[in-house]
Amino acid sequence: MNNVLAAQLKIIVTGTRGAGKSAFIRSINEILPGCQVNTLPDGSGDFAYYYGGIPIPETDETLYLVEPPSTEPHGRSLWPLTDASGLVYLVDSTASLTFHEAQATLNMLDTYAPFPVVVAANKQDYNVPYDTAYGGYPMGQHIPWTADGIHRALDLPSGMTVMPCVATDRESVKRVLIELLYEIIATMDGMK
């Protein structure tokens, strides 16, 4: 393993509501998953982070995956304050109504995130047959958008990676994380 990754790595896993963030962490997790509860700075309440991790082969290090709370005001406002190495942003590829929220957040991350961001177009395995009794539309869901289609629909910068993903499939999650690790290494190599 490249010694650029010798330090502890923490990856933020976030995205739109219902996009599969917890499933993404659970499918790759090899440590005891947990939940860290913190008190808000103003003392008005608590918020929790879900986390898991996977040992990095040939090292004594662990890649930690952290899912911040998804409800405002605690979630997105805390991202820049973390010591994260990178971020995976999950988009439900079957729920185009959430694309506007994803676009706004990803534009903000592209401008302000101090780390690489990879977008995971989740639910690529979703295949709902059309029901002609309801006008030919799947009830409540849609056929998944491709990763390239999501990249175009969200009008993302050409340098932002969007990958197909199935959050419940370990190999799919692994491919997304490996891509993010390559981007982290490239960023760190560029700082030398």
β-strand partners of 15? 90
Q: What pLDDT score was predicted for residue 73?
A: 46
Candidates 68, 23, 32, 70; CA nearest to 53 is: 32
Q: What pLDDT score was predicted for residue 20?
A: 93
Set out the domains of the chain in order of their start, with CATH numbers: 3-190 (3.40.50.300)
Q: Which amino acid is at 40?
A: L
Q: How many helices (H) does the chain have, and how many strands (E)? A: 4, 7
First to last CA, the chain: 18
Q: What pLDDT score was predicted for residue 6?
A: 39
Distance between CA atoms of residues 151 and 109, nearest Å: 15
Distance between CA atoms of residues 180 and 188, nearest Å: 12
Pairing of strands 46-55, 62-67: antiparallel
DSSP-assigned letters across all residues of 126-182:
--PPP-GGGTT--SS--PPPPHHHHHHHTT--TTSEEEE--TT-HHHHHHHHHHHHH
- pLDDT tens per residue, the chain (192 residues)? 344 443 468 899 999 988 999 999 999 998 866 666 666 556 665 666 677 888 888 888 888 898 887 655 444 555 545 688 999 999 999 888 899 999 999 999 999 888 999 999 999 988 754 444 444 444 455 678 999 999 999 999 999 999 999 999 999 999 999 999 999 999 887 765
Backbone angles phi, psi at 7, to 5 degrees: -80, 160
Q: What pLDDT score was predicted for residue 171?
A: 97
Q: What pLDDT score was predicted for residue 132?
A: 45
Q: What pLDDT score was predicted for residue 25?
A: 93
Q: What pLDDT score was predicted for residue 169?
A: 97
SS3 92: strand
pTM of the model: 0.81
Q: Residue for token digits 């690489």? A: 116
Q: What pLDDT score was predicted for residue 135?
A: 47
Encoded tokens for 39: 């008190």
Q: What pLDDT score was predicted for residue 36?
A: 61
Q: Residue for token digits 């409800």? A: 71
Tell me which DSSP letter residue 6 carries: -
